[in-house]
């Protein structure tokens, strides 16, 4: 999921401000653009994204493989991927920010009508039951059947960046951003009742087969891309693609993970 981290070494002269649709984010964009100027994204050294985590994920997809780091400032609902919003000293903060390389998941899903769907996800790929009846899933990792049948509400394949989101709410583990791991987390497992998930290498190919799909239909979502009535979902890390994410050194990803785990 992630690669080497370090301080931003490039000279930062041009910044592009982008904002979510909320009035709070748009007002912040107008104020910051007035103070610092705003370049078109294709001419900027850094992209400053104003909003919440959902908007940050959209920005990471938008600037995937562009080589432009994205620095988020929290002007939304959830801001785990964002830095604190402050107007003063922005250029100094950008110069000192740590840059982390993150890679998305690549998902291929086959729906009941035979259509093949492809999507990427920076947070997670999540399968979920579409009706009142629990899903029945088979889990195969690198061609080896690991779980013949799981009866559950669903299953999450989470990246380190996504491990603090839906995965954590489903009692999955939080993964350091530079750990070469993915979290495989069941949602309300009924059988096997004691299985609480697994950590798998980020180089693994994970295939989930939907059993009894007519009676127990299942949908899947790769971040915000949703597909219904799937027969099979294959997930692996896209090792050819990367986005650059920036954090303030005093509130970097490691600190966020520690703080999150000691909340009560």
Query: Hey, what are 255's tokens?
Result: 């600190």
More confident residue, 251 or 91: 91
Percent of the chain with pLDDT over 90: 75
How far is the C-alpha of 139 from the C-alpha of 184, rounded, in Å? 10
CATH class of 2-103+242-261: alpha beta
pLDDT band, very low/low/confident/very high, at 76 (cuts 50, 70, 90) = confident
Quote the pLDDT of residue 164: 83
Query: Hey, what are 3's tokens?
Result: 């690669």
Q: Is 123 annotated as a binding residue?
A: yes
Quote the pLDDT of residue 2: 44
Q: Is 161 annotated as a binding residue?
A: yes
Fold: same for 2-103+242-261 and 105-237? no
Among candidate residues 53, 113, 212, 248, the one labeled active-site is 53
Q: How far is CA 49 from CA 26, 74, 87, in A?
A: 11, 8, 13
Q: Is the pLDDT at 254 greater than 80, yes or no?
A: no
Where are the domains positioned within the chain? Answer: 2-103+242-261, 105-237
pLDDT tens profile 13-57: 899 999 999 999 999 999 999 999 999 999 999 999 999 988 998
Query: Residues, the chain, total?
Result: 264
Q: Is 205 annotated as a binding residue?
A: no
Q: Is 164 annotated as a binding residue?
A: yes
Q: Examine the residue annotation and report whether 229 is marked as an active-site residue of this protein.
A: no
Q: Is 169 annotated as a binding residue?
A: yes
Three-state SS for 246? strand
pLDDT tens profile 125-155: 999 999 999 999 999 999 999 999 999 999 9
Domain 105-237 matching CATH 3.40.630.30: the answer reads: no
Quote the pLDDT of residue 6: 53
Query: Hey, what are 216's tokens?
Result: 């127990």
Question: Please, what is the average pLDDT of the chain?
Answer: 91
Residues 6+ apart with CB under 8 A from 124: 105, 156, 157, 158, 159, 162, 165, 166, 167, 222, 223
pLDDT tens profile 92-104: 999 999 998 889 9
pTM of the model: 0.83
Parallel, antiparallel, or unpaired: how do β-strands 124-129 and 181-187 relate?
unpaired
Q: Secondary structure of the chain: what % helix, strand, coil (to 5)?
A: 20, 40, 40
């Amino acid at each position: 999921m992630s690669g080497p981290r370090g301080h931003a070494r490039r000279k930062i002269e041009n910044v592009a401000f982008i904002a979510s649709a909320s009035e709070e984010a748009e007002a912040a964009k107008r104020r910051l653009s007035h103070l610092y100027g705003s370049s078109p994204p294709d001419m900027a050294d850094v992209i400053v994204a104003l909003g919440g985590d959902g908007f940050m994920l959209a920005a990471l997809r938008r600037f995937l493989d562009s080589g432009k780091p994205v620095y988020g400032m929290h002007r939304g609902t959830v801001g785990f991927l964002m830095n604190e919003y402050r107007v003063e000293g922005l250029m100094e903060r950008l110069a000192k920010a740590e840059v982390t390389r993150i890679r998305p998941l690549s998902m291929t899903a086959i729906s009941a009508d035979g259509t093949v769907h492809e999507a990427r996800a920076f947070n997670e790929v999540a399968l979920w039951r579409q009706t009142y009846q629990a899903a029945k899933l088979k889990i195969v990792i690198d061609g080896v059947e690991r779980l013949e049948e799981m009866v559950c509400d669903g299953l999450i394949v989470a990246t380190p960046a996504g491990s603090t989101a839906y995965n954590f709410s489903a009692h999955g583990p939080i993964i350091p951003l530079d750990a070469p791991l993915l979290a495989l987390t069941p949602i309300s497992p009924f059988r096997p009742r004691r299985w609480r998930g697994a950590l798998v290498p980020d180089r693994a190919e994970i295939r989930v087969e939907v059993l009894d799909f007519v009676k127990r239909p299942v949908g899947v979502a790769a971040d915000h891309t949703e597909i219904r009535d799937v027969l099979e979902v294959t997930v692996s890390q896209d090792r050819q693609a990367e986005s650059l994410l920036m954090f303030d050194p005093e509130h970097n990803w490691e600190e966020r993970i520690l703080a999150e785990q000691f909340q009560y």
